[in-house]
Amino acid sequence: MGIRGRIHSVETFGTVDGPGVRYVVFLQGCALRCKFCHNPDTWQRTCGKEVDSEVMIREVVSYRSFIRSGGLTISGGEPLLQSDFTEDILLRARAEHIHTAVDTAGSVPLDHSRQALAAADLILLDIKSIDDGQCWSLTGRGNAETLATLEYLEEIGKRVWLRHVLVPGWTLDVRLLSKLADHLAPFRCIEQVELLPFHKMGEYKWKELGYRYALLGTPEPTGEEIAMARQIMLDRGLSVLVRDHDFTTVSKKIG
């Protein structure tokens, strides 16, 4: 028997959550309330389906031939809220010689998340905003834990793909992007910065759940704005990947 946790959905042929083709497990529960979230149905910790980590890894292994070029990614929600469950899946995947990644906002204190972070081969770290005040307004939490997580990943030499959503009127701002780029430039652990243009593909979920969508009138970034953000990162010597709308994958809900 393994450790039990709550799963929202899975994607058996993911291509944007780490290198290669990946089996992506979306865990249930998130403490953030990002205004641009495209998966608000993952927020509530008591929803989803309870599964055993041993059963989960057997399912992943059954897709070994399909994910041979990639591996397993644990996403959410916020997977580090279920740190013991996440760590156990990662360690079982390692024993099966399957590459692993964790997609996280790094918002869980290191006292709770350190071991799970260390167990992954790659961390996809999402910095919501480099400005702490804006981060509070945008997500309901500050960025101190996220920045501390990045420091820890640098300390242990963990591979990191840094993610940042470009939201017009919020994070898509020359001053803030420059501040973010200046902060990221010294980190040797960051292999690439993924810029994710804001979109409204998850807006319908907010309506279905009865939540007010605060960014209703927010436009999607223009090509010129995205190019500007990309250039700011490149000017600091950072490797940059711009994701199109395909970074939102279609997942299969469990339960």
- Spatial neighbors of 47 by CB under 8 A, at least 6 apart, are 6, 8, 28, 41
Domain assignment of residue 170, yes or no: yes
What pLDDT is stored for residue 201 in this prediction? Answer: 82
Instruction: Answer whether 0.85 is exceeded by the pTM.
Output: yes
Angle at 173 between CA 172 and CA 179, to 5 degrees: 110
Question: What confidence score (pLDDT) does residue 203 get?
Answer: 85
Residue 184 dihedral angles phi and psi, to the nearest 5°:
-80, -30
Confidence of residue 202 (pLDDT cuts 50, 70, 90): confident
Integer Cα distance of 102 and 10 in angstroms:
14
Residue 244 counted as domain residue: yes
Q: What percent of the chain has pLDDT over 70?
A: 96
Residue 254 lies in a domain: no
Instruction: Look at residue 253 and tell me if it is in a domain.
Output: no
Give me the phi and psi of 239, to 5 degrees please: -80, 130
CA separation for the pair 78, 85 (Å, rounded): 12
CA 114 to chain centre: 16
Instruction: Write down how long the chain is.
Output: 255
C-alpha span between 14 and 122 (Å, rounded): 16
What pLDDT digit, counting tens, does each position of 42-76 carry? Answer: 999 999 999 999 999 999 999 999 999 999 999 99
255 lies in some domain = no
Please give the residue range of the domain that contains residue 12.
Answer: 4-248
Domains held by the chain: number:
1
Q: Is residue 162 part of a domain?
A: yes
1, 8, 105, 193, 231 from 75: Cα distances, Å: 22, 10, 10, 18, 28
* DSSP code for 218: P
Q: 3-state DSSP call for residue 234?
A: helix
Strand-pairing partners, residue 143, are none
Tokens representing 66 are 């399909």
Task: Please report whether residue 122 resides in a domain.
Answer: yes
Give tens-digit pLDDT for 154-174. Answer: 999 999 999 999 999 999 999
- pLDDT band of residue 82 (cuts 50, 70, 90) is very high
Cα 156 from Cα 139, distance rounded (Å): 28
Place of tokens 């963990």: 158
Q: Is 246 exposed, middle or buried (0-12, 13-18, 19+ CB in 10 A)?
A: exposed
The domain that contains 213 carries what CATH number?
3.20.20.70
Assigned token pair, 231:
């250039």
37 occurs within a structural domain: yes
